[in-house]
């Protein structure tokens, strides 16, 4: 494994309510010096939750995605609040977005979306033993939900409104996890 580059300098380039852009100057072991920019996510922790019903269905949500200026189908997800565990944050997001809670929650993988440009990671949480439970959310409009059989994952991938990488990866991870439990 190569030696990590040495940090020569680092500074904040821009800041918004949600994002901080950092600049870093690096010296590589071979003498190359480069400037990099990336989104810094200091204390921002997030979850993407796979709510799995006993019959093998998952619950998806359709929400407005500002980056695409369209509605996107995906998993319930959101920020983990200060002092909250990933599991507690996942359970809260479920109750806010789909009106269910879970008695069995487990983090199955930490994912990074684009590690060359973002420090942010998302915990993929499998939620089982679901039960009706509702908390008020902070969404600007009601969230549409859709139950989908996990066994029909390939068909879901054919939909134009289902393209979010974390949701796709999470469903494959959960499908393989559940199949592994049954083996």
Residue 47 confidence class, pLDDT cut points 50, 70, 90: very high
Mean pLDDT of the chain: 90
Write down the pTM of the prediction.
Answer: 0.83
For residue 114, the model assigns a pLDDT of 79
How many helices, marked H, and strands, marked E, lie in the chain?
A: 3, 10
For 13, 111, 165, the CA distances from 115, given in Å and listed in that order, are: 18, 9, 14
CATH architecture, domain 45-182: Alpha-Beta Complex (3.90)
For residue 41, the model assigns a pLDDT of 67
pLDDT beyond 90 at 61: yes
Please report, for the chain, the start and end positions of each structural domain, with discontinuous segments joined by +.
6-40, 45-182
């Amino acid at each position: 494994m190569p030696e990590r580059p040495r940090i020569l300098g680092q500074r904040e380039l821009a800041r918004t309510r949600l994002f901080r852009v950092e600049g870093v100057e690096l010296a590589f072991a071979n003498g190359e010096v480069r400037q990099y920019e990336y989104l810094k996510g200091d204390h921002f922790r997030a979850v993407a939750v796979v709510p799995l019903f006993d019959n093998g269905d998952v619950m998806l949500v359709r929400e407005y995605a500002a980056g695409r200026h369209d509605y996107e189908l995906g998993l319930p997800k959101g920020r983990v609040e200060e002092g909250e565990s990933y599991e507690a944050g996942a359970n809260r997001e479920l109750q806010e977005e789909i009106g269910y809670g879970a008695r069995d929650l487990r983090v199955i993988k930490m994912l990074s979306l684009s590690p060359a440009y973002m420090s942010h990671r998302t915990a993929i949480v499998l939620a089982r033993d679901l039960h009706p439970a509702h908390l008020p959310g902070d969404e600007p409009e009601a969230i549409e939900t859709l139950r989908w059989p996990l066994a029909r994952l390939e068909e879901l991938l054919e939909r134009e409104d289902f393209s979010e990488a974390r949701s796709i990866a999470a469903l494959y991870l959960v499908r393989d996890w559940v199949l592994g439990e049954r083996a």
